[in-house]
Amino acid sequence: MSVSMIRTLTLREAAKLLKCHPETIRQKLKSGEIPAAKVGRRWVIMESDIENYLRGLHNSQRRVVQTSRSKEKAPCLYTNVMAIGTSASTQEVANELDMLLAPKIAV
C-alpha cells in the first residue's frame, strides 16, 4: 500500500511561487481567498490549493478577455443617441447658450 505525500508550502514559498509579496498572500489566506490552515503560528498551504487558485485566476481572466472581445464586435443598438464628448465650435455653443438664456416673451 503506497502512501501519497501531500505537498505543502510555507507562506514565503507560496509568495515566491505566485511572484508576490508574502503580506499579499497572508491577506488572501486570512480572507479565505486561498485555502490554508494555521498550525501554531505558521500558515500551511497545500500545493494543490495554490494550483486551484491559479487556475481560477486564469479562467476568470480568460472570461474577461472573451467578454470584452465579444463586446467589441457587438453592433451599436442605439442610433438616435447624442454622442457625449464630441467637439462643437465655439460659435455653436455660444448660439445654443444664448437661445437657452434668452428671456421668454409671452405673445
Asked whether residue 104 is assigned to any structural domain, the reply reads: no
Question: Which of 4, 105, 92, 83 has the alpha carbon at shortest distance from 47?
Answer: 4
Sheet holding 37-39, edge to edge: 8-9, 42-46, 37-39
> At 66, which CATH number?
1.10.1660
Radius of gyration (C-alpha) of the chain in whole angstroms: 29
Asked whether residue 105 is assigned to any structural domain, the reply reads: no
SS3 category, 54: helix
Asked whether residue 79 is assigned to any structural domain, the reply reads: no
Asked whether residue 91 is assigned to any structural domain, the reply reads: no
pTM score, whole prediction: 0.53
Each residue's pLDDT tens digit, 39-52: 999 999 999 999 99
Average pLDDT over residues 33-61: 91
Planar angle of CA 54, 7, 32, nearest 5 degrees: 45
Asked whether residue 11 is assigned to any structural domain, the reply reads: yes
Cell of 98: 444664448
Distance CA 18, CA 57 (A): 11
Q: Give the pLDDT band (50/70/90) at residue 78.
A: low
Domain of 57, in residue numbers: 1-74
DSSP annotation string for 65-82: HHHHHHHHHSPP--SSPP
> How many folded domains does the chain comprise?
1
Asked whether residue 96 is assigned to any structural domain, the reply reads: no
Asked whether residue 47 is assigned to any structural domain, the reply reads: yes
Average pLDDT over residues 73-82: 54
SS3 category, 44: strand
